[in-house]
């Protein structure tokens, strides 16, 4: 799992809004995953001020990036947004990984494992 970055970042607010409106969402205790199956693999990471200070928001996004990178090789092509919740900062990474894997399996977003 993991490896070379095989995805592009979501850049414009239009891309984010498109996924929020047209895509599907899955909620966990630690984050929300929005996704829309598509031709390219693109991803965005969001942490609002509800998560905390700038330092905490950046840490939350780093954790989400690390989580996504572990599974990016096995994900179906599409556009993904991971939105951090404040509980993300206190959780063990193994719990985050388990939660993310459960969502991917439930939504059938994994090509292979």
Going along the chain from its start, the domains and CATH numbers come out as 8-106 (3.30.230.10)
Instruction: Specify the pairing of strand 42-46 against strand 78-84.
Output: parallel
The three-state (H, E, C) secondary structure of 25-75, written as one string: EEECCCEEEEEEECCCCEEEEECCCCCCCHHHHHHHHHHHHHHHHHHHHHE
pLDDT tens sequence across 23-54: 999 999 999 999 999 888 999 999 999 999 99
Per the structure block, which two tokens stand in for 34? 């929005």
Which pLDDT belongs to residue 113? 54
Per the structure block, which two tokens stand in for 88? 């993300």
List 32's β-bridge partners, or say none.
27, 83
pTM: 0.92
pLDDT tens sequence across 59-113: 999 999 999 999 999 999 999 999 999 999 999 999 999 999 999 999 999 886 5
Residue 37 main-chain phi, psi, to 5 deg:
-65, 140
Which pLDDT belongs to residue 9? 95
């Amino acid at each position: 799992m993991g490896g070379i970055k095989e995805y592009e970042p979501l850049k414009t607010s239009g891309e984010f809004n498109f996924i929020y409106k047209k895509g599907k969402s899955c909620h966990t205790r630690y984050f929300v995953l929005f996704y829309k199956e598509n031709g390219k693999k693109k991803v965005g990471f969001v942490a609002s001020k509800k998560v905390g200070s700038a330092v905490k928001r950046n840490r939350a996004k780093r954790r989400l990036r690390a989580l996504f990178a572990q599974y990016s090789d096995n994900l179906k092509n599409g556009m993904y947004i991971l939105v951090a919740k404040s509980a993300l900062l206190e959780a063990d990474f193994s719990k985050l990984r388990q939660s993310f894997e459960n969502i991917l399996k439930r939504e059938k977003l994994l090509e292979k494992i």
